[in-house]
């Protein structure tokens, strides 16, 4: 089992030295009504075929970008905890054989908190996973039923305890701003959640995504989402409570003790290169955007035909890179280094940002501009989606 040091996350490393690896496992037991991720329900899965395809996809990425070492591995989905532990182990070993894993490499696996999947946690840890992210989603049985989850609270908490016994680092997700949820309800739930002793929490506002079952219910008047003002109050309560408990927000929806931030996700938010393999996986490497075929059967066919699952491989212009970096980096509490972004893209700061709007928003207390550093202040975080189009210069907007 690999172990992670507890030292704070550094922002100094570069894409040339290391790269993050994302592996997508697209299968779920059922499709949740709020989920718009690339997940699929299948009666049977040919594990041998999937190992072969994912190996070939990995090897293709190595051929085109062999130099960095792997800083983190993330098994996402779908439901990666449904994967056989031996397949997890073989993929980790293959990545290590190809690129090499950094000492203390963070290896995360997303897991559903069912008793069946929790029974595999010891074997998954032995496979090399040292961090698990549990989809608890709620500490209320009625809400879990509303969210379409297969577990109840007792089963979820038993899985959490099992995870804490087997993994160095454990995080779990909760969804708030649910219909009818009061501030008192959320406060009580969050107090309980922070009492479980994990060093990382992901707190996501319920959003109604296009194409989901919830979107259909909203459109037909069968579901009424929480209003924006109430969502903002819930967000502010979350920030205040987690900060007071020593789990401050380091990203708009993620909270951690110092040194326990998700190193893999920080690679995304700091706009570093990352490899994405498996159905529907996105990647960024060498100024290219990559995307794999989404449907599992199409992905397997593409690998069989081409030796990889790529559907899109597109050059990113400096304008697009700057816009993406701003959209990702301003989610972080640490903000974004504009001088570093200028060095990466070759664009001047005035070409990337609307300076007049930035000054105006700073005067209103939504953002902070200190020389070449830009940060969204806590007051501005709930409004981030509205602020970004104002901050990013017109030519960069899509």
The torsion angles phi and psi of 104, rounded to 5 degrees, stand at 75, 20
- Residues 152, 155, 156, 157: is their CA dihedral positive or negative? positive
User: The pTM is what?
Assistant: 0.92
d(Cα 254, Cα 260) in Å, to the nearest integer?
A: 11
Residue 149 and residue 137 in contact, taking contact as beta carbons nearer than 8 Å: yes
Q: If you compute the radius of gyration of the chain from its CA atoms, what whole number of angstroms results? A: 21
d(Cα 156, Cα 175) in Å, to the nearest integer?
A: 14
Q: What are 99-140's pLDDT values in tens digits?
A: 999 999 999 999 999 888 899 999 999 999 999 999 999 999
d(Cα 70, Cα 90) in Å, to the nearest integer?
A: 15
Instruction: Check whether 397 has a pLDDT greater than 70.
Output: no
Q: What are 27-62's pLDDT values in tens digits?
A: 988 878 777 778 888 888 999 999 999 999 999 999
Mean pLDDT calculated for residue range 360-385: 95
Neighbours of 318 (CB within 10 A): 17
Strands 288-292 and 282-285: antiparallel
Mean pLDDT calculated for residue range 197-209: 94
Domains of the chain in sequence order:
18-269 (3.20.20.70), 318-396 (1.10.10.920)
Q: What are 296-327's pLDDT values in tens digits?
A: 999 999 999 999 999 999 999 999 999 999 99
Nearest to 75 by CA among 61, 58, 91: 91
Predicted confidence band of residue 17 (pLDDT cuts 50, 70, 90): confident
Strands 101-111 and 249-251: unpaired
Nearest to 263 by CA among 124, 142, 396, 133: 133
Instruction: Check whether 203 has a pLDDT greater than 70.
Output: yes
């Amino acid at each position: 089992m690999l172990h992670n040091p507890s030292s704070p996350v550094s922002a100094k490393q570069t894409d040339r030295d290391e790269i993050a690896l994302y592996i997508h496992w697209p299968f779920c037991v059922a499709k949740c009504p709020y989920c718009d991720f690339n997940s699929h329900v299948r009666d049977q899965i040919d594990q041998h075929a999937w190992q072969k395809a994912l190996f070939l996809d990995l090897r293709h990425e190595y051929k085109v970008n062999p130099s960095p070492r792997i800083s983190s591995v993330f098994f996402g989905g779908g439901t990666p905890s449904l994967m056989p532990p031996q397949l997890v182990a073989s993929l980790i070993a293959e990545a290590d054989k190809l690129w090499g894993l950094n000492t203390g490499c963070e290896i995360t696996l997303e897991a559903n908190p069912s008793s069946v999947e929790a029974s595999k946690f010891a074997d998954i840890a032995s496979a090399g996973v040292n961090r698990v992210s549990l989809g608890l989603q709620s500490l209320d049985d009625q809400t879990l039923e509303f969210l379409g989850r297969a577990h109840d609270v007792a089963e979820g908490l038993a899985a959490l305890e099992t995870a804490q016994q087997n993994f160095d680092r454990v995080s779990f997700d909760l969804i708030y701003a649910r219909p009818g949820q009061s501030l008192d309800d959320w406060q009580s739930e969050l107090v309980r959640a922070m009492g479980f002793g994990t060093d990382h929490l992901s707190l996501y506002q319920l959003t109604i995504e296009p194409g989901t079952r919830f979107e259909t219910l909203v459109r037909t008047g069968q579901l009424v989402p929480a209003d924006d003002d109430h969502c903002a109050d819930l967000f502010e309560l979350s920030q205040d409570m987690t900060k007071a408990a020593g789990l401050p927000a380091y990203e708009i929806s993620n909270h951690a003790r110092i040194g326990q931030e998700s190193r893999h996700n920080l690679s995304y938010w700091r706009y570093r290169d990352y490899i994405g393999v498996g159905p529907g996986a996105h990647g960024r490497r060498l100024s290219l955007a990559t995307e794999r075929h989404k449907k599992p059967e199409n992905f397997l066919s593409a690998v069989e035909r081409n030796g990889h699952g790529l559907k899109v491989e597109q050059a990113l212009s400096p304008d697009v890179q700057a816009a993406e970096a701003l959209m990702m980096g301003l989610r972080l509490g640490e903000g974004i280094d504009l001088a570093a972004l200028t060095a990466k893209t070759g664009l001047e700061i005035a070409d990337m940002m609307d300076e007049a709007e930035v000054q105006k928003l700073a005067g209103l207390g939504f953002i902070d501009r200190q020389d070449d550093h830009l940060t969204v202040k806590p007051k501005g975080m709930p409004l981030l989606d509205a602020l970004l189009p104002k901050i990013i210069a017109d030519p960069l907007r899509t």
